[in-house]
Amino acid sequence: MAMDRSRLRWNGWGFADHDDPISRRNDVWGWLAAELGMPSLLATPARALEELTLPPSQLDAKDRQVLNILFPERVREDLFERALHARGRSYQDLLRLRAGDLSEAPDAVVYPRSSEDVLKLLAFASERSAAVVPYGGGTSVVGGVTPHRGQHRAVISVDIAEMDQIEAIDEQSLTVSAQAGIYGPPLEAALKRRGLTLGHYPQSFEFSTLGGWVAHRGAGQASNRYGKAEDWLVGAELATPRGMLRDGDLPATATGPRIGDIVAGSEGVFGVITKATVRVRPAPAAVEGRAYLFRDFARGAAAIRDCVQSETPVATLRLSDVEETRFSRAYVRAGQRRSGWDQASGVALALASFKRPCVLIAQFEGTKVTVRFGRQRFSRIARHHGAIPLGSGPAMQWREARFQAPYLRDPMLDRGLGVDTLETATSWSKLHGLYTAVKAALEQGIAASVPRPGAKGIVMCHISHSYPDGASLYFTYIFPRTLDGDDVAQWLAIKRTASDAILANGGTISHHHGVGADHLPWMAQEKGALGIEVLRAIKRTLDPKGVLNPGKLIPL
């Protein structure tokens, strides 16, 4: 197995031994307390794993005997394995794990090594009434891997981490076929040795898998160049209780709907993704980043729209709103790190003259000619919309800190703070209205739930993925937790208010995080009654006993 699971935090993000110097700086936490209108932050440590007790396993002696025959030395029932697979990494997941709630831990964890192994497990589960929850990297932030047992007597987490082999790299066709359990870093490393790249770098890149990316229609930071999972997916193999469902690796076909359209976004409710064939590209010969400061969010969004509609070659366009721009710069300064902004000429004057300044990070990848052309053309577009160039410093700083940001959530939770994200997408004509409505809903929801007088929340947003007809909005919000009550209920109230605002204003309930359990209450409204009926029909056909990932994607 490429990933050493014993190094991971069972109740937080990433590696347990990750060095986080920022969390040890009292000046940073003092600054953040002031930002939230609090005299000081509180100590709210997580419970230690050694203090906890697992619920009794619902697998009987016969179940264990059969599983150990089918998967010798690949069935885990110890405290760490069951706790690690008890939940994903959503805000609600972490609240429950940190409180020591292991009530939904799986009864066992099975590590298959092949598609045939997965079929054996699904046959066992269907016969013995055990739910099966596919587990890739476990980084779902929407409750996608919580092992609900549904109407079944037991639940098994099927971890595909040992299915991590690259089966074929077709340099002539520019495709790669790999088992679904391969993690981002080894996949990219193998492609790099051939001068290729998938170019898919979500923030979870280090800890997520190829199968997980496909199952949730993931998007990486450079989606403007490389696309989302459904764009680069060529074919896939899905293990179901009815057998293998395969989609070929044809570049195009007119033989009806493609099976891959069922696989992408299926979230483990139709089957377990065991293999995928994906399109790759030559590794970029040049990569450059630039930052620009716009007078306001609307002008920055207009520049992005002009860029994508004119087919200007870019890899990344990330526009922060005024609050995210302000907070990010202040955070860097509070940590006493040298800011890339401080190296750009004219920044102080622009910040003084722009009433609502918003920073945009642009990244260009490809041949040297393509990168130069894209950079020059986008610079003209940005200037047309009144932007001031900030140079490469802020872009480089953002890129270097990209994979470190998720580590900040755990020390915030240690200090009585809540921090969560949500994302959506809509057409350009609806974008401003959606942004305004969701931001207001989050601010109102937080204000109604803040437990201490004078305390407040912080709501930030950025555009991170864009298309000729629209763009995504990604919100981050930080708030004081209601420590005297139910902090899960506090989050649910905020989440409900914001999600209602999303659908009421023409947005999708999820652009790339998926549905899981957290977004399930809004699926019927988004898909419509007939759409849900179609999904249920697929579910009944492929999984007649309903053993696959109960309680996700499809409302009952």
Which pLDDT value is given to residue 451? 74
> Distance between CA atoms of 532 and 527, rounded to whole angstroms?
6
Nearest to 444 by CA among 493, 489, 400: 493
pLDDT digits (tens, 9 = 90+) for 98-110: 999 999 999 999 9
Q: b/e per residue, 168-199, with b = 16+ CB within 10 A?
A: ebeeeeebbbbbbbbbbeebbebbeeeebbbb
Q: Is the pLDDT of residue 341 over 90?
A: no
> Distance between CA atoms of 322 and 415, rounded to whole angstroms?
26
Residue range 449-457: mean pLDDT, rounded: 86
How far CA 272 is from CA of 160, 163, 541, in Å, comes to 9, 12, 15
Which residues, 6 or more positions from 481, have their beta carbon under 8 angstroms from its beta carbon?
44, 416, 417, 418, 451, 487, 490
Tell me whether residue 91 is exposed, middle or buried, using C-beta atoms within 10 angstroms of its C-beta: 0 to 12, 13 to 18, 19 or more.
buried
pLDDT digits (tens, 9 = 90+) for 128-175: 999 999 999 999 999 999 999 999 999 999 999 999 999 999 999 999
Paired with 417 in beta bridges are 480
Which phi and psi angles does 461 have, rounded to 5°?
-150, 150
**Helix, strand, or coil (residue 341):** helix
In the structure encoding, which two tokens stand for residue 285, read together?
């010969």
Q: 320 pLDDT band (50/70/90 cuts)? A: very high
Alpha carbon 452 to its chain's center: 31
> Distance between CA atoms of 361 and 201, rounded to whole angstroms?
16
Which pLDDT value is given to residue 354? 84
Which residues, 6 or more positions from 313, have their beta carbon under 8 angstroms from its beta carbon?
225, 364, 366, 370, 371, 373, 374
Paired with 421 in beta bridges are 476
Three-class SS string for 208-268?
Answer: CEHHHHHHCCCCCCCHHHHCCHHHHEEEEEEEECCEEEECCCCCCCCCCCCCHHHHCCCCC
In the structure encoding, which two tokens stand for residue 456, read together?
């407040």
Q: 350 pLDDT band (50/70/90 cuts)? A: low
Q: 19 pLDDT band (50/70/90 cuts)? A: confident
Q: Under a CB-based contact definition with an 8 Å cutoff, are residues 251 and 258 in contact?
A: no
One-letter amino acid for residue 200 of the chain:
H
Which residues, 6 or more positions from 314, have their beta carbon under 8 angstroms from its beta carbon?
224, 225, 307, 308, 362, 363, 364, 374, 378
pLDDT digits (tens, 9 = 90+) for 46-67: 999 999 999 999 999 999 999 9
DSSP state for residue 337 in the 8-state scheme = P
Residue range 418-431: mean pLDDT, rounded: 98
Residue range 319-346: mean pLDDT, rounded: 76
Average pLDDT, the chain: 94
Which pLDDT value is given to residue 340? 59
Which phi and psi angles does 481 have, rounded to 5°?
-75, 150
> Distance between CA atoms of 353 and 368, rounded to whole angstroms?
35
Tell me whether residue 454 is exposed, middle or buried, using C-beta atoms within 10 angstroms of its C-beta: 0 to 12, 13 to 18, 19 or more.
exposed
Q: What is the dihedral of CA 313, 316, 320, 324, to 10 degrees?
A: -170
Q: 342 pLDDT band (50/70/90 cuts)? A: low
Residue range 432-440: mean pLDDT, rounded: 98
Containing H/E element for 159?
A: strand 154-159
Cα Rg for the chain, rounded, in angstroms? 23
The residue to which tokens 């007597």 are assigned: 153
Which pLDDT value is given to residue 344? 59
The residue to which tokens 């920044």 are assigned: 347
DSSP state for residue 2 in the 8-state scheme = -
Does 3 or 325 have the greater pLDDT score? 325
Residue range 211-227: mean pLDDT, rounded: 98
CA angle 93, 95, 96 (to 5 degrees): 65
Which domains does the chain possess? 166-282 (3.30.465.10), 286-402 (3.40.462.40), 407-513 (3.30.300.330)
In the structure encoding, which two tokens stand for residue 117, read together?
């192994």
How far CA 415 is from CA of 26, 45, 101, in Å, comes to 12, 7, 19
Which pLDDT value is given to residue 5? 87
> Distance between CA atoms of 478 and 419, rounded to whole angstroms?
4
Residue range 193-198: mean pLDDT, rounded: 98
Handedness of CA 184, 186, 191, 192 (dihedral sign): positive
Which pLDDT value is given to residue 336? 56
Length reported for the chain: 556
Q: DSSP labels for 322-336?
A: HHHHHHHHHHHHHTT
Which pLDDT value is given to residue 485? 73
N-term to C-term CA, the chain: 36
Which stretches does DSSP call E strand in 343-383? 358-366
Which phi and psi angles does 115 have, rounded to 5°?
-60, -35
pLDDT digits (tens, 9 = 90+) for 469-513: 999 999 999 999 987 779 999 999 999 999 999 999 999 999 999
pLDDT digits (tens, 9 = 90+) for 282-305: 999 999 999 999 999 999 999 999
Tell me whether residue 310 is exposed, middle or buried, using C-beta atoms within 10 angstroms of its C-beta: 0 to 12, 13 to 18, 19 or more.
exposed
Percent of the chain with pLDDT over 90: 87
Whole-model pTM: value is 0.96
Q: b/e per residue, 387-410, with b = 16+ CB within 10 A?
A: bbebbbbbbbbbbeeebeebbbbb
Which pLDDT value is given to residue 453? 81
